[in-house]
Amino acid sequence: MHAVIFDMDGVIIDSEPLWREAERRVFAEVGLELTDADCELTMGMRTDEVIAHWFARSPWRGASPDEVEQRLMQRMRTLIAGRGKSMPGLDYALGVVRTADLRVALASSSNPILIEAVLYTLELQATFEVVRSAIDEEFGKPHPAVFLSTARDLELEPSQCVVIEDSPAGVQAARAAGMRVVAIPPPHLFADPAYDLADVKLQSLEELTLPMLD
């Protein structure tokens, strides 16, 4: 392996609870009451695809899907700035990667505006050699496009990259890209068979070791 590609939400920042809070609040404004379990169904997807997913199932009147997406983005920016914190073991995991002299990249489903907000909040602006958003691709995760573009930016073959992911959609995308996958599922989803596609499954970044990246 020559590079480690980190997902962002749920891997470098503890943002999945923030996403659930933001989604439930914003969708409630258009009359759609979501549960946490509902929000988990779209975990790892692009925001525009999340909006389209729910609009197709429960169309609402008033605000357009684009307006709802903008509300969701603004709510997330506020939550990240006020309550964003790194995932346990992030500094340790980055240290493991540096020890192996591996290159480091970020490939996220989030909008570049939110990626910038996260990197600023966590003071990680200089950490990643390549930063890619699935917003810039024709399709988001579980399509492999964002990972393939990241490998291309690194001038590496997909088989030379290992991905660290927390969502089923992300694991599927990385596997479809032909990359090694380390999955770190949310604790209550650890036994979910959707993560069985991963090469390695961990409880947290604190369990990451050099052999897992080989």
Residue 153: active-site member: no
Nearest C-alpha neighbor of 208 from the set 184, 185, 190, 186: 184
- Determine whether 136 is exposed, middle or buried from the number of CB atoms within 10 Å of its CB (0-12, 13-18, 19+): exposed
* Pairing of the two strands 130-133 and 161-165: unpaired
Q: Which amino acid is at 209?
A: T
Residue 95 makes CB contacts below 8 A (sequence gap 6+) with none
- Residue indicated by tokens 């030379």: 160
Residue 192: active-site member: no
- 9, 36, 48, 199: the catalytic one is 9
Q: Which amino acid is at 40?
A: E
In whole angstroms, give the CA distance from residue 165 to residue 163: 6
Asked if 6 and 183 count as a contact pair (C-beta separation under 8 A), the reply is: no
Q: Which amino acids are annotated catalytic?
A: 7, 9
